[in-house]
Chains A and B, each alone.
Chain A
Amino acid sequence: MGKRKAWSPILQAGLAIGAMGIVLLPVFLCQTPWPTAARDYLVQHGQDESGAINLVSAIYLGYRAFDTLGETIVLLVAVIGTMGLLSRVESLVNPIGDDDNSIQTVSAFSLRGEKRSSHVLRTHLLEVVTGKIGPIVLLFGFYVMLYGHLSPGGGFQGGVIIASGIVFLALGNQQDNTSVLSKSSILGGIESVSFLLFIVVAISGIFFGKGFFGNPLADSAYPVGFIVLMNSIIGLKVGASIGFMCIAMMGGHD
């Protein structure tokens, strides 16, 4: 019985993986030709209809903008759930102890001033490098976000780069002068306002007779302005929410 107990989980896991492999083998190895109709249509009409040279931007902000709406809602729900769980954890942890060198405290990275220099996980190298590189990463994130219709990039990618810039700024304050961007109230405000703006911009197409998520600038000289605006809003939203979650996981929200 004892021996059987030892290898039966391995057998179960092996059987499950084998079954999964057999089910997925045809999916991975099928060689049916990929349809080219959608690609050909987008290459011929995509730039005229949306104004964006980058076809991926044209799809996720033009043809399939509902996907983006659902995705931003999922992001919002994830942020709300993470913050709800982590803030309860904070209130459980903080009364227990304030030991500098214990790695297991959730607040490991949010130590104040004088305690920080003696902490095992924080070195001066981290502070010097992240403090210098943070603003540059933020600038690069805004570039990727604003040029998403012309070059590889867009709202999501730029937003993630902005989020890493925010994390760098939150890590890299040498004295007690913390960046405004690492405060949870500011980041939460940016996220809520950008979600509101996203909905407003999505509805604005209705007043120009284009329908929900229609491009109100479609008949003007610069139809691409709609995609640039949506890209910036989504970039701000993704950057604020992912930065918010990262900072909360480092224990830095107050």
Chain B
Amino acid sequence: MVERALLLCLLLLGFWGVVAKKNIIKKIFGLNILNAAAVMLFILEGNRIGTEAPILESDLALVVDPIPQALMLTAIVIGVCVTALALALAVHLYQITGSFDIDTIRERVKDAT
């Protein structure tokens, strides 16, 4: 139960980073923390029905559920893709407006138009 509460805290921490922070880089890494919390929740759920790794070297009856692990493998790579694309967008914004702060960016975009 403790680990679930901690994971909820981690997810809310990432959400707080996305919602409350002004710096775009911090927002992107907040998104990354959110992704990590969701991935770890899935792994934790799959771990409830077993103790051994899902590799059938001997006759193990109590392996963990391999399906959440296989799904999260995909989710991790997609999280990396999203982070890379968002960072590239942030760099692009910085080159155009000269700032990572969303309020400054909004002002400068408004000034330019």
**Interface residues, chain A, with chain B CB atoms under 8 Å away:** 9-10, 13, 16-17, 20-21, 24-25, 28-29, 33-34, 36, 38-39, 42-43, 46-47, 53-56, 58-60, 64, 67-68, 71, 74-75, 77-78, 81-82, 85-86, 88-89, 92-93, 106, 150-152, 154, 156-157, 238, 242, 245, 249
A74 touches B78 (CB 8 A): yes
Contact digits for B50-65, partner A, Cβ 8 Å, 1 yes 0 no: 1001111100110111
Q: A53's contact among B8, B11, B56, by CB below 8 Å, is which?
A: B56
Choose among A42, A75, A86 the residue that contacts B77 (Cβ–Cβ < 8 A): A75
- 14 A–B contact pairs at CB < 8 A? A36-B65, A42-B66, A56-B54, A59-B66, A67-B71, A75-B78, A78-B82, A85-B85, A85-B88, A85-B92, A86-B91, A156-B76, A242-B80, A249-B91
State whether A38 and B77 are in contact (beta carbons under 8 Å apart), knowing that A20-B15, A81-B88, A85-B88 are contacts in the complex. no
Checking A10, A47, A77, A88 against B20 with a beta-carbon cut-off of 8 angstroms, the contacting residue is A10
- Contact among A10, A55, A60, A249 with B56 in the assembled complex (CB-CB below 8 Å): A55
**A249 and B70 within 8 A (CB):** no
Contact A60 B74 (CB under 8 A): yes
Contact across chains for A56 and B66 when beta carbons are under 8 A apart: yes
Q: Identify A55's interface contact among B45, B54, B92, CB under 8 A.
A: B54
A55, B55: Cβ atoms under 8 Å? yes
Partner of B46, one of A34, A43, A46: A34
Contact of B54 (CB < 8 Å), options: A54, A245, A249? A54
For B49, B61, B66, B85, which residue has the most chain A Cβ atoms within 10 angstroms? Answer: B66
B109 interfacial contact with A, CB 8 Å: no
Does any Cβ of A come within 8 Å of B5's Cβ?
yes
* Pairwise interchain contact B71-A28, C-beta atoms closer than 8 A: no
From B12, B60, B73, B88, give the contact of A56 (CB < 8 A). Answer: B73
Contacts of B50 in A (CB 8 A): 39
**Closest chain B residue to A14, Cβ basis:** B20
Selected contact of A39 from candidates B11, B53, B63, B81, CB within 8 Å: B63
A28 to B60, CA, bound (A): 29
Residues of the A chain whose Cβ atoms lie less than 8 Å from the Cβ of B82: 78
